[in-house]
Amino acid sequence: MQFNKPLRSGVLQKRYKRFLADIDFGDGDITTVHCPNTGAMTGCAEPGSKVWCSVSNNPKRKYSLTWELAQNSKGEMIVVNTQHANRMAGELLKTELMPQLSEWQEHKPEQRYGNEKSRIDWWGRDSDNRECFVEVKSVTLADGSRGYFPDAVSQRAHKHLNELMQVVSDGHRAIQLYMVMHQGIDSVMPASHIDAKYAELCQQAESAGVEFYAVKCIATPQEIKLERPVPVTL
């Protein structure tokens, strides 16, 4: 995935109210930008970090800039815009990078499913004509080279795992796909120290037949690229 326009670089002053951040672009003013990340963003939003933002020409937007990338004190690049995880998952399904998710007959984003009419991130049919339901999560919380999800207690993530288990019960494939959006992360596991219920549900889901995979992405101010699968430990 390439960024359509050059990103503006600046220095993060603070992130607040979940969806806002103040950034110094070196033009003498502090600019408020949109932060498209509802998580805690631990380790991704340290004041003084170098950041990159995209620019929108939409006159209806209150904030014309969107925070896309951050660089931590180790020089590692992090994708803070969680919407890109779904886009990169879509690119993954077109490749043979992960054999378990390749050679699909078709795939579509944001499809309604389940009794609660939720939206699955990706739906498709594999080479055996089985329906496949893929829930995508963006992983940016790092402890050394280990990545954790979630970075805050997430009732929504609990709901998604329960729905994936129902998908398996209905005779379909259900997949929890972690897109690693942090350069320093080389493996993924549930953050039991943050959300013990989520970690418990992951183990239940695996026992029920839900498949767990993770793929690492690498970002630059020009593009985000798929790199390689990484292990998931439940």
Delimit the domains of the chain by residue range: 8-78, 83-230
Name 228's Cβ contacts closer than 8 Å, sequence gap at least 6: 97, 215, 216
One-letter amino acid at 105 equals Q
pLDDT tens digits, residue range 2-27? Answer: 998 999 999 999 999 999 999 999 99
In order, the DSSP letters of 82-116 are THHHHHHHHHHTTSSSSGGG-S-SEEEEEEEETTT
Is CATH 3.40.1350.60 the right assignment for the domain spanning 83-230? yes
Tell me which CATH code domain 8-78 carries: 2.40.50.580
| Kind of pairing between the strands at 50-55 and 65-71 | antiparallel
d(CA 189, CA 117): 28
pLDDT tens digits, residue range 133-185? Answer: 999 999 999 999 999 999 999 999 999 999 999 999 999 999 999 999 999 99
Place of tokens 């990159």: 52
Q: What is the pTM of this model?
A: 0.96
Joined together, the tokens standing for residue 135 give 């829930």
pLDDT tens digits, residue range 110-139? Answer: 998 876 678 999 999 999 999 999 999 999
Is residue 164 within 8 Å of residue 174, measured between CB atoms?
A: yes
CA distances from 18 to 28, 30, 147 (A): 25, 18, 21
